[in-house]
Structure 1
Amino acid sequence: MAISSPGVGSGLDVNNIISQLVALERKPIQQLQSQKTIAQTRLSQWGQIKSALSTLQDAANALRSPSLWNSRTASVSGAGVTATASAGTTAGSFTVSVTQLASEQKLSTNATYGTGALGWSGKLSITKGEWSGGSFTPGSAPTVDVTIAAGDKLSDIASKINAAGAGVTATVVNTGSGLRLAIRSNTTGEANGFSIRAYDSSNNEITNGTGLGGLTYATGITNGMNGSLATDAQLSIDGVAVSSASNTVNAVPGITLTLTGTNTTPAVVTVDNDTKAIRGAIETFQKAYNDLNTLLRNATRADTTGKGDNGPLVGDQTAQTIQRALRNVVGATGPGGLAFSRLSDIGLQVARDGSLTLNATKLDAALSNLSDLRTFFDDTSAGIATQVRDITSRLTAFDGAVETRRNGLQKTLARQDESIARLENRVARTEAMLRAQYTRLDSTLAGLNGLSTYVSQQLAQWNKQG
């Protein structure tokens, strides 16, 4: 009978023996896996460094952007208006007096109606235009007809008006004692008013305000609706009268005024350089540099305690070169002939650990001289932001130092994977060979043990007979 379990025939712990022998064979694999883990950690570290370099590059580019240095802010002292300023707008101030806001035409029916079908058939003709002194002048837009059926309820009529694209919006309002139809123009301004005429199913105009005529508002008829007409905004800017169909006014180049109400005391609008945005860009640059500096410092740290707590890139010449290059550029001199020549002159001082600290007082002083500050950062050859952009661009380029190191590590990982796969195959073959050998040994020893037992039994029998 064949032996089915290793060691049964020999009495040896074959599985344990084979496991130990295979474990010895796997030692090189374990070493490679350990090396692979180190390489993966380094590759991840270089990925983080590349990302941090890109962030610093973006921050440097932001300090070179014309839109940053041309940015303006508008502040308002007083009521009735808010303001925004476009980039490049001339700095200065002016007053704004608001006597009337722009409004849309609003109408509602004089009569109230029930919730059921109204029994009217015909059409409503809605025309956009301008009211003046009780007379209406049609605008350039064509008249829009809305067909009304006898089975329509007031809500159906409102839906049809809204779907017609006539430039007005209809709403049904429940007053508690009945329904009224309210209609308003979609845009403000005197030129954006509207008239409504009603016609019966024979196309005869209804002029007495009855039936479908209860939804009319036009000259020469009995109106079934009343309300307020559209108005233009009336204001003055530094005493100059301005009329606007909208409450958003662009009468001053680069300035958008939003009228919020009338005022009795003129509001003062002041336009100035947006130093808050510039300060924010400088602080973003500081943070991006400090994050990268911390990342590189931790990655290249050498343990001095003897515990082996080194950074993943300790001794890496490329990482150390990047550290030195970046520290050199933040300590470099900017363009000549300016009120400041180094980052420390505008309040960004290099600390002992290589990070940048901010002196708010110095930065405030620098922000009062935007012309020099802009040149200090964005000069095309010697600007500090230009220098940082150039070095980060070189480092993160396809053939730059960072990508070279990443590509090298990726190739190392690929080779290690190939080596591990080959060794795994060899270990599998070795284990199979050992199991075959021990199976044969088991069979041989089992046979010998059987023979030994037989001989012992025969000898014992002979001794009894003697």
Structure 2
Amino acid sequence: MASPITTNTGAGYGLDIKNIVSVLVNADTSAKANQIARQTSNNSAMISGIGSLRSALTAFQDAMKKLNDKNAPSFNAFAGTSADEKVVKIKSSNSAVAGTYDIKVDKLATASKVASKQFAGGASTAIGAGELTISQNGKDYKVNVASGATLQSVRDQINKEMSSNGITANIINEAGGSRLVFSSTTTGKGSDISVGGIPELAINGTQPISGSGAGYISGLAQDAEFSIDGLALKSPKNTVDQAISGLTLELTGVSTGGNPTKATVALDNEGLKKSVQSFVDAYNTLQKAVTALVTPEKDANGNVKSLGPLTNDPTTRSLLGDVRKVLTEVGAGDKLTTLSQLGINTQKDGTLEFNSTKFTSALNDKKLGSEIQELFTGTNGLFERMNKAIDPYNSTGGMLDSRKTNLDKAAKNLENQQAALDRRTELLTASLTKKFSALDTALAKMKKQGEQITSIFEAMNAQAKKS
């Protein structure tokens, strides 16, 4: 049975107008309000889920990028070490071979540094207009100096126009005046800088400074001179990648007392294991993040409490399928073509298991260490194929980006629907309130008239009893 309408708040007859109107308005709008609330909640959850999925994919791709850093390769079968990195640092590639080398550095490669003549007026000294020619290694670079230039403005112009060529300038203030000093990042014999075109800035880079005149500062540019196992070598650079096959030498200092530094190249099984484990960890982090987004939440009894934000989402299912497919594809290597050969297998929950015993056997018994780099980072390797699988989803303008755009449009549409419903609720409330207020007034009037009639009849009955 419906609850009776209370009559203790009406200003006239006593109808509970506010409660009556609220019940009627709610009956009219609740179904639509519940629908909008449900759709808004689902849409918001999906927007959040898409954002979390994209973050997980980006983190996974960043991890692969870090493992594929060409300046710090992670899958080299060999590692090079130096007994004294103040003399030489060693970096190995996958084509290195095990061995030891005695490296002695006699000279480091140096760059040219030359200075103009002295200017008593300092940085504000006026410099004549003209075409300044800076020469190095047979190349001439032109700098057009306009009228009104100063030593300071010429310095700034050189830095702006020549820094891309590795040539910069600065002003050094000596006791007798200021000089414009040119420096270069290019090392090696014959790379000395010369300057011409404007007489007061002319520099013969092959001549030393004499008095207040121009010239080189500390010495001519020179090649590095070093030896490997007693064999003499020269290099215009201090980074040498052709002296020993598979190794890059970074010469950092001159050998003390002429004593050689021991360099060792050996199999880096632990380094390879660490790199492979890093990939497995990164993939498992992605897999767990996606699983959390698509798995329903259950209570202690195993009953579903709520669906994951991307449960049954076709785009997410397609993405998972494409990523997992890459793991099972056969690579283009020689002996090593699948992850399972390294002890990496997919478990029931989709994560990867890394069997270190099988991995060690693959390196020690099957000698597959030198092929690991190709499997992961080579042309059409695992990382390249994995990125090709993920990019259509995670790239700007990709499927997830488009999905987010559509969800944002849906959210805006739901906002508009809610605003329309709010307007309807407001109008309906106002209309019903007006009608029931009028009814309350009419009922109050009728009640008063009834009371008057009753009073008349009571008076007549009383008069009749007296007569």
Whether TM-score is above 0.5 comes out as yes
1:437 aligns with 2:435: yes
Q: Which moved more, 1:24-33 or 1:320-329?
A: 320-329
1:173 aligns with 2:179: no
Residues 245 and 51 of structure 1: CA distance in aligned 2, closer, same or farther (over 3 Å): closer
3-state DSSP of counterpart to 1:192: coil
Residue in structure 2 matched with residue 260 of structure 1 by the alignment: 252
Q: Which moved more, 1:454-463 or 1:364-373?
A: 454-463
Q: Is the 8 A contact 1:129 1:194 kept in 2?
A: yes
Q: Is the 8 A contact 1:127 1:196 kept in 2?
A: yes
Cα displacement string for residues 5-52 of structure 1 (whole angstroms, at most 9, x for unaligned residues): x93222222122212332333432353245325533662475268537
Residue in structure 1 matched with residue 83 of structure 2 by the alignment: 77
Q: Is the 8 A contact 1:101 1:247 kept in 2?
A: yes
Residue in structure 2 matched with residue 7 of structure 1 by the alignment: 10
Residue in structure 1 matched with residue 6 of structure 2 by the alignment: none
1:229 aligns with 2:219: yes
Deviation at 1:287, TM superposition (A): 3.0
Alignment of 1:57-456 (within 5 A): 58=61, 74-78=80-84, 79-84=86-91, 89-91=95-97, 94-105=101-112, 141=140, 157=151, 160=154, 163=157, 169-174=169-174, 179=177, 181=179, 183-186=181-184, 187-193=186-192, 224-225=212-213, 227-238=217-228, 239-252=230-243, 256-263=248-255, 264-269=258-263, 276=271, 279-280=274-275, 282-293=277-288, 295-296=290-291, 299-301=294-296, 303=298, 305-306=300-301, 310-313=305-308, 343=340, 346-348=342-344, 355-360=351-356, 362-366=358-362, 369-370=368-369, 373=372, 430-432=428-430, 434-452=432-450
3-state DSSP of counterpart to 2:305: coil
Q: Distance in 2 between matches of 1:360 and 1:452?
A: 98
Letter matched to residue 283 of structure 1: S
Deviation at 1:293, TM superposition (A): 3.3
Q: Is the 8 A contact 1:216 1:224 kept in 2?
A: no
3-state DSSP of counterpart to 1:191: coil
Cα displacement string for residues 112-152 of structure 1 (whole angstroms, at most 9, x for unaligned residues): 9687999999999988579xxxxxxxx66489999999xx9
Residues 141 and 184 of structure 1: CA distance in aligned 2, closer, same or farther (over 3 Å): same
Q: Distance in 2 between matches of 1:241 and 1:109?
A: 36
Deviation at 1:191, TM superposition (A): 2.1
Larger radius of gyration: 1
Q: Distance in 1 between matches of 2:378 and 2:179?
A: 65
3-state DSSP of counterpart to 1:228: coil
3-state DSSP of counterpart to 1:437: helix
Letter matched to residue 224 of structure 1: S
Cα displacement string for residues 358-399 of structure 1 (whole angstroms, at most 9, x for unaligned residues): 455554554552356568779999x998998899799999xx
Residues 452 and 370 of structure 1: CA distance in aligned 2, closer, same or farther (over 3 Å): same
Cα displacement string for residues 217-261 of structure 1 (whole angstroms, at most 9, x for unaligned residues): 987997534853213133234344333444344543775543322
Q: Distance in 1 between matches of 2:45 and 2:434?
A: 43
Letter matched to residue 346 of structure 1: L
Q: Is the 8 A contact 2:224 2:237 kept in 1?
A: no
Q: Is the 8 A contact 1:189 1:230 kept in 2?
A: no
Deviation at 1:331, TM superposition (A): 10
3-state DSSP of counterpart to 1:441: helix
Deviation at 1:100, TM superposition (A): 1.5
Q: Distance in 1 between matches of 2:348 and 2:196?
A: 82
Q: Is the 8 A contact 1:296 1:323 kept in 2?
A: no
3-state DSSP of counterpart to 1:51: helix
TM, length-normalised to structure 1? 0.60
TM, length-normalised to structure 2? 0.60
Residue in structure 2 matched with residue 133 of structure 1 by the alignment: none
Can you give the 5+ residue segments of structure 2 that lack an aligned partner in the other structure? 1-8
- Count, aligned residues: 428
Deviation at 1:96, TM superposition (A): 3.4
Q: Distance in 2 between matches of 1:220 and 1:314?
A: 74
1:43 aligns with 2:38: no
CA RMSD in angstroms, aligned pairs only: 6.5
Q: Distance in 2 between matches of 1:104 and 1:430?
A: 85
Q: Distance in 1 between matches of 2:205 and 2:334?
A: 72
What percentage of aligned pairs have identical amino acids?
18
Q: Which moved more, 1:303-312 or 1:413-422?
A: 413-422
Cα displacement string for residues 290-336 of structure 1 (whole angstroms, at most 9, x for unaligned residues): 44235425743463534966341499667998899799979979799
Can you give the 5+ residue segments of structure 1 that lack an aligned partner in the other structure? 1-5, 131-138, 204-211
Q: Which moved more, 1:62-71 or 1:359-368?
A: 62-71
Q: Is the 8 A contact 1:332 1:384 kept in 2?
A: no
Deviation at 1:81, TM superposition (A): 2.5
Residues 195 and 441 of structure 1: CA distance in aligned 2, closer, same or farther (over 3 Å): closer
Residues 83 and 158 of structure 1: CA distance in aligned 2, closer, same or farther (over 3 Å): farther
